[in-house]
């Protein structure tokens, strides 16, 4: 596998440091630079990893010693920044959402294919062993006809104090700015329950209903529930929030049984009619999105499945945001 030199583009998102650490630690990559238009965000990350900082994106993208970039800008900047990186011939690994709209996502996917560059979106829970196990149980038919799925993911980033006497929460306040963030709990953390529910029940529900809450009075939602209705009667429920620290849970029900996963104890259980309960083995995780990105860059291939799911994720988030704003169904 060829060695890639990597630069961080944008330090807006809290995962900027995580992806920088991946690039710094992976034997197939070397972190060489960081860019952000705001030096107050970008310079500390560059100093932490001992790499060059710049606020000049054109200069960074013109560097021949930068093969690839990780993108962790505000969501509304993704289309422009990713597009410029691809135009400069860089491989791109990006935080979700790929872009705020489906049209922008599709344009970026096409641009990456035309450029022959690897574009991968961080959808990590699709690679986790529990998700693979739930998918396989569904495919086996053991649950019978699927009827219902619920996935919940929440943390207390909007309410738990930072340890400095503040009560605003540990999540940076910029996450609640509808400009760069596009949306709140659903658009950020809720992406994970969305794409998992799509994995289990299907990508294109007939109806989408959304209720967004503003417990902390921010401009974007700090918790959300989205209900998906399918033509055959299946129902999906997506729950996400920044206002409570709860265990991550998956529940999938069918006419012949149900499967349940909880972060508490990392257990996966199959329940059958009559009350029987069976613990199911959880396989090892598959290669994570960062490893997938490096493999596609090395092989000169496109991450077809990842990009398809990234586009469909954006499609459903768009529908959810519209339903919440309109107070109806999309």
Task: Express each pLDDT in 43-86 by its tens digit.
Answer: 999 999 999 999 999 999 999 999 999 999 999 999 999 999 99
Q: Which CATH superfamily is domain 129-284 in?
A: Dihydrodipicolinate Reductase; domain 2 (3.30.360.10)
Q: Where in the chain is the domain with CATH 3.40.50.720?
A: 4-123+288-301
**What is the rounded distance in angstroms from the CA atom of residue 307 to the CA atom of residue 268?**
28
Whether the predicted pLDDT of 266 surpasses 80: no
Mean pLDDT computed over 233-253 = 97
Q: Which residues contact 12 (CB under 8 A, 6 or more apart)?
A: 36, 41, 72, 73, 74, 77, 174, 180
**What is the rounded distance in angstroms from the CA atom of residue 226 to the CA atom of residue 149?**
12
Mean pLDDT computed over 304-325 = 97
CA dist 159 to 66, 140, 238, 241, Å? Answer: 39, 42, 21, 11
CA dist 144 to 19, 117, 138, 261, 317, Å? Answer: 40, 42, 8, 18, 29
Question: Would you list the DSSP string of 186-219?
Answer: TTTTTHHHHHHHHHHH-S--SEEEEEEE-TT--S
Q: What is the pLDDT of residue 288?
A: 97
Residue with tokens 């630079």: 33
Q: What is the pLDDT of residue 160?
A: 84
Rounded mean pLDDT of the chain?
Answer: 95
Phi and psi angles of residue 213, each rounded to the nearest 5 degrees, phi first: -110, 155
Angle at 169 between CA 166 and CA 33, to 5 degrees: 105
Whether the predicted pLDDT of 164 surpasses 80: no
Query: Is residue 67 within 8 Å of 90, Cβ to Cβ?
Result: yes
**Pairing of the two strands 52-54 and 68-71:** unpaired
Query: Is residue 152 within 8 Å of 239, Cβ to Cβ?
Result: yes
**What is the rounded distance in angstroms from the CA atom of residue 268 to the CA atom of residue 319?**
31
Confidence grade of residue 302 (pLDDT, cut at 50, 70, 90): very high
Whether the predicted pLDDT of 163 surpasses 60: no
Whether the predicted pLDDT of 144 surpasses 50: yes
In tens, the pLDDT along 310-319 reads 999 999 999 9
Q: What is the pLDDT of residue 275?
A: 83
Q: Where in the chain is the domain with CATH 3.30.360.10?
A: 129-284
Q: What is the pLDDT of residue 161?
A: 67
Whether the predicted pLDDT of 268 surpasses 60: yes
Strand order in the sheet with 29-35: 52-54, 29-35, 4-9, 68-71, 91-94, 119-121
Residue 153 in tokens: 């993911």
Mean pLDDT computed over 274-280 = 90
Q: What is the pLDDT of residue 165?
A: 37
Mean pLDDT computed over 270-278 = 90
Confidence grade of residue 274 (pLDDT, cut at 50, 70, 90): confident
Query: Is residue 222 within 8 Å of 239, Cβ to Cβ?
Result: no
In tens, the pLDDT along 1-55 reads 689 999 999 999 999 999 999 999 999 999 999 999 999 999 999 999 999 999 9
What fold, for 4-123+288-301? Answer: Rossmann fold (3.40.50)
Confidence grade of residue 264 (pLDDT, cut at 50, 70, 90): confident
CA dist 314 to 20, 180, 212, Å? Answer: 24, 16, 17
């Amino acid at each position: 596998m060829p060695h890639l030199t990597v630069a961080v583009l944008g330090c807006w998102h809290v995962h900027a440091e995580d992806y920088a650490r991946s690039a710094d630690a992976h034997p197939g990559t070397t972190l060489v630079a960081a860019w952000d238009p705001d030096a107050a965000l970008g310079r500390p990350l560059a100093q932490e990893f001992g790499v060059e900082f710049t606020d000049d994106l054109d200069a960074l993208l013109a560097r021949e010693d930068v093969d690839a970039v990780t993108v962790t800008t505000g969501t509304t900047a993704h289309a422009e920044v990713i597009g410029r990186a691809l135009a400069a011939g860089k491989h791109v690994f990006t935080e979700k959402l790929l872009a705020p709209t489906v049209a922008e996502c599709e344009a970026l996917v096409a641009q990456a294919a035309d450029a022959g560059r690897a574009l991968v979106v961080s959808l990590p829970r699709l690679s986790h062993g529990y998700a693979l196990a739930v998918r396989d149980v569904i495919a086996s038919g053991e649950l019978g006809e699927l009827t219902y799925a619920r996935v919940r993911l929440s943390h207390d980033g909007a309410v738990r104090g930072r340890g400095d006497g503040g009560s605003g929460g540990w999540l940076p306040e910029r996450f609640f700015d509808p400009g760069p963030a596009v949306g709140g709990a659903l658009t950020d953390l809720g992406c994970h329950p969305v794409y998992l529910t799509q994995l289990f029940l299907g990508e294109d529900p007939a109806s989408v209903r959304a209720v967004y809450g503003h417990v902390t009075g921010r401009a974007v939602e700090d918790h959300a529930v989205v209900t998906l209705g399918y033509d055959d009667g299946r129902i999906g429920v997506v729950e996400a929030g920044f206002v409570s620290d709860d265990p991550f849970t998956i529940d999938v029900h069918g006419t012949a049984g149900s499967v349940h996963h909880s972060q508490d104890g990392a257990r996966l259980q199959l329940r059958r009619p009559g009350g029987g309960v069976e613990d199911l083995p959880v396989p090892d995780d598959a290669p994570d999105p960062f490893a997938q990105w490096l493999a596609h860059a090395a092989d000169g291939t496109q991450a077809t499945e990842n990009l398809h799911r990234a586009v469909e994720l954006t499609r459903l988030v768009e529908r959810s945001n519209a339903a919440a704003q309109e107070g109806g169904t999309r």
